[in-house]
Chains A and B, each alone.
Chain A
Amino acid sequence: MDAPPLSQDRLSAVLAAAPSPADLYTSLSDYEEQACLIPTTHSKEVELLSAFYTAFFFSHLLTDQIEEARALTKRIPQTILQTDSIQNCLVLLRAVWQRKYTEIYKILRELPWPERSRSVVQSYESYFQQKTLKEVSNSYEAIRPAAAATYLGLDPTLAEQGDQGTIQKFVACGWKWDEKTRLLHPKPLITAPPKDESLQNEFGRIMALISHQGS
């Protein structure tokens, strides 16, 4: 039951070991009590806690718990809140909250994140990119390359000029490039929700019976 004490190495191990964002979130949240008990007087501890909360914060974002991520920022001790890494997190939170795509990518890529947090920052960047790609694909029937590039964190100016490299990236996702109208036509990405329970089948049958002419 008792987890090994929290340390930088332990944190790295947890980050490396977690098979999925949900697992990462669970294992990090088990450490929150421990983190709470660590005094924040020495710089070494401050550094550890800052790294822990940064990782914990990103595990929220990776599991789309933005409201809880915001709550987390209210729980972080004052001294830790002042560290650069956590300040970056706050800026990122605001940008994600307001869906400022350009800023999000900029924060993730350009702000100085501590070495140990790099991996989780990067995994969030690719997660966010994938998530946005799915959302854009399902929302837009036709999109200007510059707008699409902004959403996905690519260079909008290049995309606007019809840069083949950029366009090819979209085409690789199954999108169609219309040279004449200079528009991209995204291909909807439908991910089938997990269907496992027998209940699903039962309801499936009933719902199938409600035919279009049914009422």
Chain B
Amino acid sequence: MMAEDATNGELTIGFLPLVDACLPILAREHGFAEAEGLSLRLVRDMSWATVLDRLLYGHSDAAHMVAPLAIATTLGRGRPAQPLSVPFVLGLNGNAVTMRPDLARAVNPAGGLGEPAAVGAALKAHIAASGQKLRFGVVHRYSSHNYMLRYWLAACGIRPDIDVEITTVAPPFCADALEFGEVDAICVGEPWNSVAVERGTGEIVLVTAQIWRRGVEKVLAFREPVMEARRPQAEALVRALRKAGEHFVDPANLETNAAILARAEYLDGDATLIRRAISDRLLLRQGGELLHYPDFMFQHREAANFPWVSQAEWLYSQMVRWDGLEFDSADARKAARVFRPDLYRSALLGTGEPLPGASSKVEGSLAGPTSVSMQQGFITLENNSFFDGKPFDPVLLESYIQGQRSA
């Protein structure tokens, strides 16, 4: 007899070979899922379109997903609407902007990681002087990469789609695309920036953590009806992923975890490059020194996995901005509801895990460590600002969108 779905602990999770697929992989490999009565099967794909198709047509129960895609799918952007739910954020940031070496040196002559406003100003001047329309590659139209890149460019007075062209490039081909001049710069996750550096086809100029210090990146997405039907398993998975995160950020486990992620069935990549990325270390250019940039990737501290409704609302504000939509309060509510702090809370209530008291916060409002009111446990939130210093208050969503339009 097959077990009823409601009690069956088997979960299939789709993913792309990127370092931030780490938590589901480690939850399986280190037995955290098993300890919660789950048996995880991981299905690797090569495009977000296929990860999404498998989720929508039941090949997978949940998926590693670029956060904006979960909202776009719920709102029916590009295909018929299907509500998705996000009970867990798989991580913040972890992406970088890598440019053709000559362009990198022109806009960031001092080398090292650039300062976002200064690099932006130099880039604007470079575009004006050369009259050349630069091409930027991002991994998906509905990716945090696209939104972070556009946020940075626009705040520096460079109009995406007018002054530059932004196009989609699959992560494994980013280094190729730089080499063959298909693009001048890329915004992609690791290990793909480092692969371009290793091959000498690119130099890392910025990391996205400089654009938004605590920017939402990948999420765990379910189809809403599936999550509701299998709520005990979804909650068990949240607990297993929290444990995996604790293991992942412990420096003692670095070598082991890099070796697991590098395996053929997961990232099928170079363990050295993976170890660098997951320890927040980057080689910015060939022949340079390894740079340690704390919180380049952010997987665990400060309740990093808590699905703040305000994060979903910020993503909606960017979707309206770049898809040329009108603000729609019904859509805004649907987008906000994609992130499900209620499930995260019920999964972790009574454990030692910290649970924030609120479900929404003003994003980018903290310049330094601040303690917040908690339902359970204790955390101090650190600097979470946008590089231009503008906060996002979800209560003022509509006027935030208006403000961006006139900017």
A and B part of one assembly: no
A interface list, Cβ under 8 A from B: none
Q: Which residues of B contact A (CB under 8 A)?
A: none
